[in-house]
Amino acid sequence: MTGRGVDQILPHPGDPELREPRVTDASRYVRLVEAVSGPIPRPVDFAYPWGDALAQIDSQRPDLRLINLETSITTSDDFAPGKDVHYRMSPGNLPCLTALRPDVCTLANNHILDLGTQGMLETLETLDRAGIATVGAGIDLERAAAPFVTTDGLAVFGLGLPSSGIPGRWAANDRPGVSLLTDLSPQTTAMVAQQIRAQKAAGTLVIVSIHWGSNWGYEVPTPHIRLAHRLVDAGADLIHGHSSHHPRPAELYRGRLILYGCGDFVDDYEGIPGYDEYRDELRLLYFVTMRPDGRLERLKIVPMRSFRMRLEHAAPEDVRWTHETLSRISRPLGTHVVLSDDGLHISKAGRSRFIC
């Protein structure tokens, strides 16, 4: 979520105007952070928000870097009606995103159309010029639903669900929008399952990135579990779930990894009170290693901490808290989380692809 407050500390901040009920200037979120954590030396350099995470990611040498980009990158001021929160990032601050070197961004979320259709189209064009692939949004349903396929056998789909706050009117059809599953019936998900099967028939490993569920709480709705299982049954090898501002449980189903909520990574929430029990200042890096057949070999989770809107390595006591929490919330799904010297793990024997 590199828009709003994050955008304001970077070298080329955009118009700070907001249309929120209580906050009308994005720089207010920066001041909230500074009130609890101390001054931020504005402007920061483009790599500042990622902090220690950049070296950590580079050390793992992943084959694919996948993120959920939950902001528009635009100068548009066409604020989406009926929404209390709008995220936008100045195109001039795109180097902040490219500093992470993502291969693909999923855009099927509840903020990509915050600044209207023009804002989404400008986002797509900006990312394309930067050489960053996108999934989950497009000029029509065909483009929005199409996967990103690498030359070495990885396919990524982007999907959104209304439960994450995506308005139904944002669904792509013959007009621009997001790849939105309006319900979770077998009939509605049949097209996605068919696309997954087509990619599997070509010998690819399939990742489905899904924006679903509420912002807070550890419970995973039964319909989401059923959907994840249905997609794995169709051939998906990894479910990359997001929307909640903190991590949710992980599950192994038929040897495939399902992450029901990865939590936020970069945002401007550090100074916002109200949900302290979830420790949303703690952020997680997920490194997934899959076997050639798609079964999980290893999941390594590296806890980070946001401080002054910059990621740093979590303290040992924070790592222990994260381990205890992930263990507790994942145990009902039959998942065992192990704490070791270099992070948290779910391990299987074998060797294959690194994805982060």
Reported as a single tens digit per residue, the pLDDT across 211-267 is: 999 999 999 999 999 999 999 999 999 999 999 999 999 999 999 999 999 999 999
Residue 69 has pLDDT above 50, yes or no: yes
CA distance 184 to 227: 7
What rounded mean pLDDT belongs to the chain?
Answer: 95
Q: What is the CATH number of domain 5-280?
A: 3.60.21
Q: Work out the percent of the chain whose per-residue pLDDT is above 90.
A: 93
Distance (Å, whole) CA 150 – CA 84 = 37
Mean pLDDT of 185-195: 91
CA separation for the pair 63, 238 (Å, rounded): 15
Residue 57, pLDDT > 80, answer yes
Question: Which residues, listed in sequence order, are joined to residue 8 by a DSSP beta bridge?
Answer: none
pLDDT on residue 340: 87
| DSSP three-state, residue 279 | coil
pLDDT of the residue at 352: 46
DSSP β-bridge partners for residue 154: 205
Q: Give residue 354's pLDDT band: very low, low, confident or very high (50, 70, 90).
A: very low
Q: How many CA atoms lie within 13 A of 152 on its CB side?
A: 6
d(CA 8, CA 205): 38
Task: For residues 96-113, give the mean pLDDT.
Answer: 98
| Residue ranges covered by each domain of the chain | 5-280
Question: Per-residue pLDDT for 271 more than 70?
Answer: yes
| Percent of residues in the chain assigned helix, strand, coil, to nearest 5 | 30, 25, 45
pLDDT band at 347 (very low <50, low <70, confident <90, very high): low
Residue 194 CB neighbour total at 10 angstroms:
10
Phi and psi, residue 134, nearest 5°: -130, 150
- pLDDT computed for residue 342 by the predictor: 79
Judged against a pLDDT cut of 90, whether residue 87 lies above it is answered with yes
The tens digit of pLDDT for each residue in 147-163 reads 999 999 999 999 999 99
Do residues 108 and 27 touch, judged by C-beta distance below 8 A?
no
Q: Provide mean pLDDT across the span 322-341.
A: 93
